[in-house]
Structure 1
Amino acid sequence: MRYTKTPYGLFLQWLLLLGLLLFISWIFWEKGLLQTALLSDPSRITLIILILFVIATCHCAARTLFLSQEQSALDRIVLFTSANPTGQGSNRWWMDNQLPARDSLSGQLIAGVAAIHSRAQSNQGSQDTQLLAQVMAERTRGQHEVGWFICGLLVKLGLLGTVVGFILMLAPVAELESFDLSDIQGLLQRMTTGMGVALNTTLMGLSCSMLLGLQYLILDRAADRLVSEAVEFTETRLFKAAGREQ
Structure 2
Amino acid sequence: MRHAKTPYTLVLQWLLLFGILSFISWLFWDQGLLQSALLSDPSHITLIILLLFVLATTHCATRALFLSHENSALDQIIQFTTANPPGPGSNRWWIENKLPVKDSLSGQFIAGIAAMRGSLQVHQPNQDSHLLAQVMAERLRGQHEVGWFICGLLVKLGLLGTVIGFVMMLAPVAELKSFDLSDIQGLLQRMTTGMGVALNTTLMGLSCSMLLGMQYLMLDRAADRLVAEAVEFSETRLLKVADKEQ
For residues 243 and 84 of structure 2, what CA distance do their matches in structure 1 show? Answer: 17
Contact 1:49 1:154 in 2 (8 A): yes
Match of 1:195 in 2: 195
Name the SS of the counterpart of 1:111 in structure 2. helix
RMSD (Å), alpha carbons: 2.3
- CA distance change for structure 1 residues 242 and 113 in 2, over 3 Å: closer, same or farther? farther
The Cα offsets for residues 184-205 of structure 1, whole Å up to 9 and x where unpaired, read as: 0000000000000000000000
Match of 1:111 in 2: 111
Match of 2:97 in 1: 97
CA deviation after TM superposition for structure 1 residue 90, in Å: 5.8
- CA distance change for structure 1 residues 213 and 89 in 2, over 3 Å: closer, same or farther? closer
Name the SS of the counterpart of 1:178 in structure 2. coil
Tell me the matched-pair count. 246
Deviates more, 1:194-203 or 1:97-106: 97-106
Correspondence list, 1:98-177, <5 A = 98-118=98-118, 126-177=126-177
Correspondence list, 1:31-46, <5 A = 31-46=31-46
Name the SS of the counterpart of 2:50 in structure 1. helix
The Cα offsets for residues 106-150 of structure 1, whole Å up to 9 and x where unpaired, read as: 000011011011179x79970111110010000000110000000
Match of 2:227 in 1: 227
Name the SS of the counterpart of 2:207 in structure 1. helix
TM-score, structure 1 length as denominator?
0.93
For residues 42 and 68 of structure 2, what CA distance do their matches in structure 1 show? Answer: 41
Gaps of 5+ in 2: none
For residues 243 and 130 of structure 2, what CA distance do their matches in structure 1 show? Answer: 18
Q: Does 1:236 align with 2:231?
A: no
Amino acid in structure 1 at the alignment position of 2:17: L
Identity, % of aligned positions: 77
Q: Does 1:77 align with 2:80?
A: no
For residues 241 and 123 of structure 2, what CA distance do their matches in structure 1 show? Answer: 18
CA deviation after TM superposition for structure 1 residue 95, in Å: 3.7
Match of 1:15 in 2: 15
The Cα offsets for residues 69-116 of structure 1, whole Å up to 9 and x where unpaired, read as: 000000111111121234458687744321111100000001101101
Amino acid in structure 2 at the alignment position of 1:55: L
CA deviation after TM superposition for structure 1 residue 4, in Å: 5.0
For residues 80 and 220 of structure 1, what CA distance do their matches in structure 2 show? Answer: 27
Name the SS of the counterpart of 2:214 in structure 1. helix
Contact 1:117 1:242 in 2 (8 A): no
Gaps of 5+ in 1: none
CA deviation after TM superposition for structure 1 residue 239, in Å: 3.6
For residues 85 and 119 of structure 2, what CA distance do their matches in structure 1 show? Answer: 22
CA deviation after TM superposition for structure 1 residue 173, in Å: 0.2
CA deviation after TM superposition for structure 1 residue 181, in Å: 0.1
For residues 140 and 64 of structure 2, what CA distance do their matches in structure 1 show? Answer: 11
Contact 1:148 1:213 in 2 (8 A): yes
Correspondence list, 1:38-77, <5 A = 38-77=38-77
- CA distance change for structure 1 residues 216 and 136 in 2, over 3 Å: closer, same or farther? same
CA deviation after TM superposition for structure 1 residue 244, in Å: 7.3
